């Protein structure tokens, strides 16, 4: 039926882009080829004799992190055909090829149960150790086909630090700038006093909580050197994994400042004799410490538990995405019955977890994750 419908009827704008493309593929042929017959035009994907799109296109940025002189960028992209195509980054006079793998969760483009165009997850792991302080370098992304380079334009997805159009992100050792170029970041080694006094002060009016930003500027150098762990269950309750782990960790003598986040002051009496570092969700102390925390330890993620404080939650997330650099530790809830949760929720291209902790170590879950133990048990 599709093959007998006029092409212009299959191009109606009310239909999703990928669905329109899929109908064109069905109408004009199932074999996708790349037209590279002329040097005057960019190669195009073809459905039969019908032109679809050029090699250049969009990549979706989901995770940007910078720790220990390593800058990681993760995301996905969707193409009708992948043979002979690669994704690369140009950075500091080097070319780095992306690590690619078929995506398990980013491709939602299906029609009548059939996969339309598969997605590929990508990851770049870039070293910034050799970049000199106060020098700026471009990080550019390209698709490569037959030795030629074509722009890979970035789209910032939900988990990206630039989702709310932040201008920069401060990592451990560098600042990543979002300059508005469609396929380019700019990277500058971090000189803390220089950047905080010059860069942040000039941009503080772009954030919704100027008092918080002023305190971050005043205390940036001192607090970035502290070891601060935040334990949080949810904004409206405790009595969960984070509280149990907090009580355990309070018995360990180390140089770590541990804080339990509770819904309101009525919970303070629960921790008399345990630890005085109890703060309320949404307070100034909570917002300030989450920016400088080394670890965010919870059975929910920051993106899931973030709600309105004295400013809208999206405005607070913009501040956290710009200034924070915490490791997110996810506390599991015992046995996982639905294995699909690992693809949809715990997939490392969707959530930037530094550690997944199993608290019920004697449960059957350990045997499921480490089946070799069954041999002797």
What end-to-end distance do the CA atoms of the chain give, in Å? 59
CATH class of 57-189: mainly beta
- Give the mean model confidence (pLDDT) for residues 177-184: 86
Q: What is the pLDDT of residue 95?
A: 95
Q: Is the pLDDT of residue 361 over 60?
A: no
Q: In this structure, what are the phi and psi dihedrals at residue 63, rounded to the nearest 5 degrees?
A: -130, 130
Q: In this structure, what are the phi and psi dihedrals at residue 275, rounded to the nearest 5 degrees?
A: -165, 135
Structure tokens that stand for 307 in this block: 């709600």
pTM: 0.84
Contacts 24+ apart (CB under 8 A), 337-345: 343/104, 343/105, 344/105
- 3-class SS of residue 92: coil
Q: How many CB atoms lie within 10 A of CB 259?
A: 21
The lowest-confidence range among 5-14, 42-51, 140-149, 349-358 is: 349-358
Q: What is the pLDDT of residue 97?
A: 97
- Give the mean model confidence (pLDDT) for residues 89-108: 89
- Give the mean model confidence (pLDDT) for residues 38-67: 84
Q: How many CB atoms lie within 10 A of CB 342?
A: 14
Q: Is the pLDDT of residue 359 over 60?
A: no
Contacts 24+ apart (CB under 8 A), 80-85: 80/21, 80/25, 80/32, 80/45, 80/47, 80/52, 80/53, 80/117, 81/32, 81/33, 81/34, 81/45, 82/120, 84/34, 84/145, 84/146, 85/55, 85/143, 85/144, 85/145
Structure tokens that stand for 40 in this block: 């005057």
Q: Is the pLDDT of residue 374 over 90?
A: no
- 3-class SS of residue 278: strand
Regarding beta strands 99-102 and 278-280, do their DSSP bridges make them parallel or antiparallel, or are they unpaired?
unpaired
Where helices occur in the chain by DSSP H, the ranges are 17-28, 192-195, 201-203, 210-224, 241-249, 284-292, 302-305, 313-323, 340-344, 364-369
Q: What is the pLDDT of residue 36?
A: 63
Using CB atoms within 10 Å of the CB of residue 287, give its burial: 0 to 12 exposed, 13 to 18 middle, 19+ buried: buried
Question: How far is residue 214 CA from its own chain's centroid?
Answer: 27
Q: What percent of the chain has pLDDT over 90?
A: 40
Q: How far apart are CA 174 and CA 355, in angstroms?
A: 23
**Do 126 and 140 meet the contact criterion of CB atoms below 8 Å apart?**
no
Residues of the chain with CATH 2.60.40: 57-189
């Amino acid at each position: 039926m599709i093959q007998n419908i006029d092409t212009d009827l299959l191009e109606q704008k009310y239909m999703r882009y990928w669905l329109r493309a899929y109908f064109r593929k069905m109408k004009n042929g199932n074999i996708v080829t790349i037209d590279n017959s002329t040097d005057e035009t960019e190669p195009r994907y073809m459905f039969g004799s019908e032109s679809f799109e050029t090699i250049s296109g969009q990549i979706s940025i989901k995770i940007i992190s910078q720790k220990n002189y390593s800058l990681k960028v993760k995301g996905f992209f969707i193409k009708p055909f992948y043979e002979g195509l690669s994704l690369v980054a140009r950075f500091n006079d080097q070319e780095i090829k992306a690590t690619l793998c078929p995506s398990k969760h980013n491709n939602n483009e299906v029609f009548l149960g059939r996969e339309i165009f598969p997605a590929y997850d990508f990851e770049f792991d870039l070293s910034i150790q050799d970049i000199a302080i106060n020098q700026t370098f471009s990080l550019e992304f390209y698709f490569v086909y037959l030795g030629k380079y074509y722009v890979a334009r970035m789209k910032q997805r939900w988990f990206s630090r630039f989702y709310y159009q932040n201008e920069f992100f401060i990592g451990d050792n560098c600042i990543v700038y979002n300059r508005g170029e469609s396929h380019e970041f700019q990277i500058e080694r971090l000189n803390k006093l220089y950047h905080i006094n010059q860069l942040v002060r000039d941009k503080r009016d772009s954030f919704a909580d100027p008092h918080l930003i002023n305190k971050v500027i005043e205390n940036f150098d001192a607090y970035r050197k502290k070891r601060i762990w935040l334990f949080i269950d949810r904004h409206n309750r405790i009595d969960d994994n984070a509280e149990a782990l907090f009580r355990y960790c309070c018995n360990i003598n180390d140089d770590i400042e541990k804080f339990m986040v509770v819904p309101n002051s009525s919970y303070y009496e629960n921790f008399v004799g345990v630890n005085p570092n109890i703060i309320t969700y949404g307070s100034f102390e909570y917002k300030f410490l989450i920016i400088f925390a080394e670890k965010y330890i919870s059975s929910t993620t920051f993106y899931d538990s973030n709600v309105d404080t004295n400013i809208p939650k999206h405005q607070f997330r913009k501040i956290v995405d710009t200034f924070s650099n915490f490791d997110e530790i996810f506390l599991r809830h015992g046995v996982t019955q639905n294995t699909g949760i690992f693809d949809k929720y715990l997939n490392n291209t969707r959530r930037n977890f530094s550690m997944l902790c199993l608290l019920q170590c004697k449960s059957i879950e350990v045997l499921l994750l480490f089946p070799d133990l069954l041999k002797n048990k």
